[in-house]
Structure 1
Amino acid sequence: MRETKEMMRLLGPAEIRILANKLDLRPTKKLGQNFVIDGGTVRRIVRVADLSPDDVVIEVGPGLGSLTLELLASAAHVVAVEIDPVLAHQLPITVTDRGVSEQLTVINADAMRISETDLLGFTPSALVANLPYNVAVPVVLHLLEALPSLRKGLVMVQSEVADRLAAGPGSKVYGVPSVKAAWYADVRRAGPVGRSVFWPAPNVDSGLVSLVRRDPPATTASREEVFAVIDAAFAQRRKTLRAALASWAGSPAQAETALRAAGVDPSARGEQLDIHAFVRIAESRP
């Protein structure tokens, strides 16, 4: 394992650029391609992810493989989901050159469309990824829903997205991502990441977000019904819940009836409620 760890360090800034030139790669904002070039950051991500030798990791957007290589040294298997066909083709070659190819499966697909049946029989227990900024929240929420085997995760996202995912009720940045993520998991910030560890360097800082799966709240309402309340409550943040939920309930009066039945003040606003309050409101719909 020590020899493998030493080889993992070889994919630094120079190697990243050599690979990029070989592939005639021009990172695009459309695909959110900002590749990690700092070995210390890669090792930190894997360390904080707290993987066991039995974990099967799903990595979204592996890019040129900096994080993938370190994950392969710490987990039983890595399922890498890469939307770019050129990168998906290159990754197994890069990994084979370092002698750990049998632990890697690459799937050329859009992570937003991945389901259990697409994973070739693998059952991932952990999500670890440097997520493209423009799709980070929907990818996290989709994978938590589509892959119930996921028990934990550590994702690197734009700093303000990390704040929103981990925010609690009453925070200025608490919103739809915060509440929906709380349906699936305990979410917290796990540290900052500067801009200089990426190529090309983004215009914003990043942050690590830790997710630990827990059972969703016990409820007679479906997830879709609860999420519909959340969406309605935050669609017009400045409005009271009585007004914001009027269309959802049928009228302001019916919204007030549902809110009172749920034990929620009709004059409150969405950012004051936790996931359990939204569940009670969904259960109380007239």
Structure 2
Amino acid sequence: MVVGAGDWGDGESVVSLLGPAEIRELAGRLDLRPTKRLGQNFVIDGGTVRRIARVAEVSPDDVVIEVGPGLGSLTLALLPEARRVVAVEIDPVLAAQLPITVAGRAPSLADRLSVVRADAMTVRPGDLDAEPTTLVANLPYNVAVPVVLHLLAVLPSLRRGLVMVQSEVADRMAAGPGSKVYGIPSVKAAWYADVRRAGPVGRTVFWPVPNVDSGLVALTRREPPVTSASREEVFAVIDAAFAQRRKTLRAALATWAGSPPAAEAALRAAGVDPSARGEQLRVEDFARIAENRPTDG
């Protein structure tokens, strides 16, 4: 079979990708009006979804969880590469349509797809029919970071991910200590994974066209820092440290510790300069601070 510009895969696994005309026709048939509330910007460029599937390095053994598959552009590109794609979609109309689209454009691969109608922020392992190993998704800008952190927390089977997010969000997620955009998303993501930028994505590959550019973020799961503090305790320190970025850690952590002197004592016990600021610390530093929180009495 000859693979055309809008096709993807090889042999019996060739799928017919969605292009701009097909996306608009399908949206019209569903009476779909993309909403900012749900962050609905659909990818209409076949080259972009092929690129995402390639950069994600999905293997035939992988179970991919895709959040917000929308009309199925990226889903169709992932199906030839993965053992299974579990698509989590909050919109009931889109959730119902996706299996129909896949059956029509990738009939030999339709049995690889399962659709979970749910909010990704509430998904738990029991909601899925397989243990996902890889997250690949075009994430709504307003919920991208919470969704990624939630899935990494509740799905320990996830070993890596590639997500497309707003360019500024990508910068924040992948930033390192000392960067101007290093903050809560950077540190909390680093608890779970090594995070890096994996390339830019222009706004013209979407419909409707957003007013921002996007970027790809690659995540590779790693063990969290060795610490006696819980994740919740460490994250509480991170939240407090960045609540008032211009303040020193002695001042920023005063409420968390009970007083400025108590915060200074905890910081010194952790080997952290009390005059430092949160953007200078690694996730391991925050873990040591959490271990040294003063106790009452």
TM bucket (normalised to shorter chain) is over 0.9
Q: 1:18: which partner in 2? A: 25
Q: 2:126: which partner in 1? A: 117
Q: 1:35: which partner in 2? A: 42
Shift in CA distance, 4/90, structure 1 to aligned 2, threshold 3 Å: farther
Q: 2:197: which partner in 1? A: 189
User: Are residues 1:71 and 2:78 paired?
Assistant: yes
SS at match of 1:134: coil
Give CA deviations for 1:97-127 in whole Å, capped at 9, x if unaligned. 120210000001000000001113x100000
SS at match of 2:162: strand
Count of residue pairs brought into register by the alignment: 284
Indicate if the aligned counterparts of 1:4 and 1:73 stay in contact, CA closer than 8 A. no
| Percentage of matched positions with identical amino acids | 77
Q: 1:104: which partner in 2? A: 113
Match for 2:278 among 261, 270, 279? 270
Indicate if the aligned counterparts of 1:245 and 1:252 stay in contact, CA closer than 8 A. yes
Indicate if the aligned counterparts of 2:95 and 2:117 stay in contact, CA closer than 8 A. yes
Q: Offset of 1:2 from its aligned partner?
A: 1.4
Indicate if the aligned counterparts of 2:190 and 2:283 stay in contact, CA closer than 8 A. yes
Indicate if the aligned counterparts of 2:237 and 2:286 stay in contact, CA closer than 8 A. yes
CA separation in 1, counterparts of 2:128 and 2:13? 27
Q: Offset of 1:7 from its aligned partner?
A: 2.8
CA separation in 2, counterparts of 1:172 and 1:94? 43
CA separation in 2, counterparts of 1:262 and 1:144? 27
Indicate if the aligned counterparts of 1:5 and 1:70 stay in contact, CA closer than 8 A. no
SS at match of 2:15: helix
Shift in CA distance, 4/157, structure 1 to aligned 2, threshold 3 Å: farther
Q: 2:141: which partner in 1? A: 133
SS at match of 1:53: coil
SS at match of 1:133: coil
Q: Offset of 1:6 from its aligned partner?
A: 4.5
Q: 2:237: which partner in 1? A: 229
SS at match of 2:227: coil
CA separation in 2, counterparts of 1:110 and 1:184? 22
Give the unaligned 5+ runs of structure 1.
none
Q: 1:54: which partner in 2? A: 61
Q: 1:198: which partner in 2? A: 206
- TM-score (norm. length: structure 1): 0.98
CA separation in 2, counterparts of 1:142 and 1:223? 13
SS at match of 1:215: coil
Indicate if the aligned counterparts of 1:69 and 1:95 stay in contact, CA closer than 8 A. yes
CA separation in 1, counterparts of 2:58 and 2:67? 16
Indicate if the aligned counterparts of 2:14 and 2:80 stay in contact, CA closer than 8 A. no
Q: 2:154: which partner in 1? A: 146
Match for 2:180 among 146, 156, 172? 172
CA separation in 1, counterparts of 2:186 and 2:12? 38
- TM-score (norm. length: structure 2): 0.94
Give the unaligned 5+ runs of structure 2.
1-8
Indicate if the aligned counterparts of 1:124 and 1:150 stay in contact, CA closer than 8 A. yes
1:104 maps to amino acid: L
Deviating above 3 A after TM superposition, structure 1's stretches of 4 or more consecutive aligned residues are: 3-6
Give CA deviations for 1:60-79 in whole Å, capped at 9, x if unaligned. 00000000001001000000
Q: 1:255: which partner in 2? A: 263
Indicate if the aligned counterparts of 1:58 and 1:126 stay in contact, CA closer than 8 A. yes
